[in-house]
Amino acid sequence: MDELVREVLSGEEAWFVGGAVRDELLGRRVQDVDVVCRDPAPAARAYAKRAGGFPFALSEQHSSWRVVLDRGRTVDFTPVHGTIESDLARRDFTVNAIALPVAGGEAVDPSGGREDLQLRLLRAVSETIFQDDPLRLLRAGRLEEQLGFKLAPLTEELLRTHAELVTKAAGERILAELEQLGPRGYRRLDELGLLVPLGGSIDERLDAVDSPRYRLVAVFKDDVRRFPVSGETRRYARVLLRAARPADRSARAIHRFRRESEPWAVEALAYLGAPELIPAVEDARARDFDEPLLRGDELGLPPGPEVGRLLEQIAEERAVGTISTRGEALDLVRRETSG
């Protein structure tokens, strides 16, 4: 990726910046590359043409462009603001404010980012970083967790002073940061006073399932709807929040629980604090039938709620083991409709 950027921007002023430089200096895998240059649009188009990627305007207001490559990799081209030093002064933390000339040469590091990399510290570039972009409040907690760094004392003090600004960031951006957090990251946000303004709280359910979507629900519960989550995530949250613990381990109780909670029955049990019932759900799943004993148009009844009720009753009795054949299912229907 770097070599192609050098070819495209040969002879022009351009720098690699941001997380890509930080991660390379840390010896971490670089997935996405950020480049600042004088004219991002033609650079992005030229790069996309050579790399077989897809270019699009990332921000018309800021003239930023992104090229999407295979395996989810991206290369962003953004305009340099004045000099490279003044551009870096607008960034969040010193470890993200290091620039490497695309043409090669010494790193530009006006705020001491390389030293902070060695100290494993997140230090604010300026006192206004959180006012300039409140999303950086969440990014601080996420980077602490992902990099294994700590906030510098004065930066943490600055963050706590401006914690109430966290709600000012756009919902889509907040969600993108939250989805990258693990349990330790959420606990750190709570410690820093950033979760309560967003409607979140921590309890023992946080660690029950290793899933970003599960953690969102465990932390925000009904307030997860504050964020622009997908329709499927809304359904997932509704299932977990409305789930009722099965009365016992019986096949009937497990079937009824699954009817209300699948395909997320296991996550629902974890959320309810009933992991001991998970094997019963997994056993029931293993015994699921590929085809029903009867279909709705085989009951001899007009379409309506009664058809659905009978089909569910047949499915339940089959799961419990009281019926197993088509004939037994028809007998059940006759008994239920004879009166």
142 and 214 both lie in a single domain: yes
CATH (domain of 151): 1.10.3090.10
Strands 14-17 and 100-101: antiparallel
Whether residue 292 contacts residue 311, with contact meaning beta carbons closer than 8 Å, is answered with yes
CATH number, domain containing residue 71: 3.30.460.10
The answer on 132 and 64 residing in a single domain is: no
Tell me whether the omega of the peptide bond preceding residue 305 falls within 30 degrees of 0, making it cis.
no
pLDDT of residue 2: 78
Same domain, 111 and 193: no
d(CA 179, CA 169) in angstroms, rounded, equals 15
Q: Is residue 291 part of a domain?
A: no
Residue 185 lies in a domain: yes
Q: What is the pLDDT of residue 339?
A: 62
Whether pTM > 0.95 for this model: the answer is: no
Residue 11 burial (C-beta neighbours within 10 Å; 0-12, 13-18, 19+)? exposed
Quick one: 153 and 237 in the same domain? yes
Rounded to the nearest 5 degrees, what angle is found at the Cα of 47, between the Cα atoms of 45 and 50? 110
Helix (H) or strand (E) holding 217: helix 212-220
Residues 268, 203, single domain; the answer is: no
Domain endpoint, select from 66, 93, 117: 117
Domain boundary among 53, 83, 117: 117
Please give the distance of CA 78 from its chain centroid, rounded to a whole number: 25
Question: Domain for residue 60, yes or no?
Answer: yes
**Same domain flag for 129 and 235:** yes
Number of folded domains that form the chain: 4
Residue 59: which H helix or E strand, with range? strand 54-59
Q: Which residue has the tokens 């953004």?
A: 78
Residues 224 and 262 in one domain: no
269 with 184, same domain: the answer is no
For position 61, what pLDDT does the model report? 66
Q: What's the DSSP call for residue 30?
A: P
Q: Are 166 and 138 contacting, i.e. CB atoms less than 8 angstroms apart?
A: yes
Residue 257 lies in a domain: yes
In a domain, 2, yes or no: yes
- Predicted local distance difference test score (pLDDT) of residue 72: 81
Helix, strand, coil distribution of the chain in percent, nearest 5: 55, 10, 35
Q: In this predicted structure, what is the pLDDT of residue 96?
A: 96
How big is the CA angle at 312 (ends 307 and 313), to the nearest 5 degrees?
100
**138 with 222, same domain?**
yes
* Contacting residues for 187 by C-beta, under 8 A, at least 6 apart: 202, 206
* 188 plus 152 within the same structural domain: yes
Give helix 251-261 / helix 278-286 axis angle, nearest 10°: 90
Q: Residue 272 is part of which domain span?
A: 247-286
Supply φ then ψ for residue 287, to 5 degrees: -100, 5
- 3 state DSSP class of 39: coil
CA proximity to 117, closest of 138, 135, 143, 139: 143
Half-sphere exposure of 36 (CA within 13 A, CB side): 25
64 shares its domain with 168: no
Q: In 10 A of CB 66, how many CB atoms? A: 21
Locate 195 and state its tokens: 């979760």
pLDDT, one tens digit for every residue, the chain (339 residues): 678 898 889 888 999 999 999 999 999 988 889 999 999 999 999 999 999 999 999 876 668 999 999 888 899 999 998 899 999 999 999 999 999 999 989 999 999 999 999 999 999 999 999 999 999 999 999 999 999 999 999 999 999 999 999 999 999 999 999 999 999 999 999 999 999 999 999 999 999 999 999 999 999 999 999 999 999 999 999 999 999 999 999 999 999 999 999 999 999 999 999 999 999 999 999 999 999 999 999 988 899 999 999 999 999 999 999 999 999 999 999 999 886
Do 191 and 138 fall into the same domain?
A: yes
Domain boundary (117, 143, 164) is at 117
